[in-house]
Amino acid sequence: MGPVRRGNLAWVQKQHDVYGSVVLASTQLFFDQRLVDPGTIETFKRLEPLGEHAYALHDVPDAGLWEFRGRAEVHTYTSVMCWAACDRLSRIASALGLEDRAAYWRESADTIHARVCADAWSEARNHFTDTFNGERLDASLLLLADVGFVAAGDPRFVATVEAIGRDLKRGDALFRYIAPDDFGTPETSFTLCTFWYIDALAAIGRTEEARELFERILQRRNHLGLLSEDLAFEDGEPWGNFPQAYSHVGLIIAATRLSRSWQEAT
């Protein structure tokens, strides 16, 4: 890995994907007992540099998940993904019996966690905000419980889900955000975010509401069962990239959340 270039916005904007997501995706290697070739100490050592970069970038302004072109801020989602990298490395180290490394990464994760809770939670607005010391909502905040940053029952997460439903939801669909961006004021929903909302509703116990919304969104598919990137709020007309992989990933995740468990089904 090369050096962390803190001043290059175009490079920094994707680090939550490169570092947090790679570590998250690799975690299964160390815990899935079905694997023939599980992760080893050597595998863990190859992941540690990603954690170092994640920690170094957790409070660095970036373009965020949505790749804003005209502004750089410390985005909550980016910081949480950096936390996830350190958190999973601590868990992996514990599973491998590397207690010194587990403690090291737990301290790193706890430092990021405390910073996010201090700077991205707004007492005045009673919800997490899209950026440190910000004011706005962002649909990516719906993922805080999914990655384990907070419990689904945490009152702060419940309040954030409710605030997003109140401010970003129009009819049966959600904006990613409503603040003007590089192209002006957002006009269409983002289908993946609607599925994130469905998943979050189910996680906080509003399962029937989530299921009903899920069924209505399924009716927006075309004759091939496919969804677009965006949906018009008025009539559900598909906009944006088509078909869109993200939309279908969201559909699968929401369907999994709403489905019966294997224990219930047997």
What pLDDT does 17 receive?
A: 53
Structural domain of residue 71, as residue ranges?
A: 1-119
Judged against a pLDDT cut of 80, whether residue 143 lies above it is answered with yes
**Contact present, 247 and 192 (Cβ < 8 Å):** yes
Higher pLDDT, 187 or 45: 45
What integer best gives the mean pLDDT of the chain? 88
Are 77 and 191 in the same domain?
A: no
Q: How confident is the model at residue 16 (pLDDT cuts 50, 70, 90)?
A: low
Q: Among all chains, which residue has been given the structure tokens 């790749």?
A: 67
Are 108 and 146 in the same domain?
A: no
Total count of domains within the chain: 2
> What CATH number does the domain containing 215 carry?
1.50.10.20
Is 128 domain-assigned?
no
Q: Which two tokens stand for residue 42?
A: 């050597």
Is 255 domain-assigned?
yes
Q: Which two tokens stand for residue 66?
A: 């949505």
Buried b (16+ CB within 10 A) or exposed e, 167-204: bbbeebbbbbbebebeeeebebbbbbbbbbbbbbbbbb
What pLDDT does 174 receive?
A: 93
Q: What is the mean pLDDT of residues 40-51?
A: 96
Using a pLDDT cut of 90, give the percent of the chain over it: 61
Q: How confident is the model at residue 63 (pLDDT cuts 50, 70, 90)?
A: confident
Is 126 domain-assigned?
no
Is 124 domain-assigned?
no
Is 125 domain-assigned?
no
Last residue of a domain, one of 71, 94, 119: 119
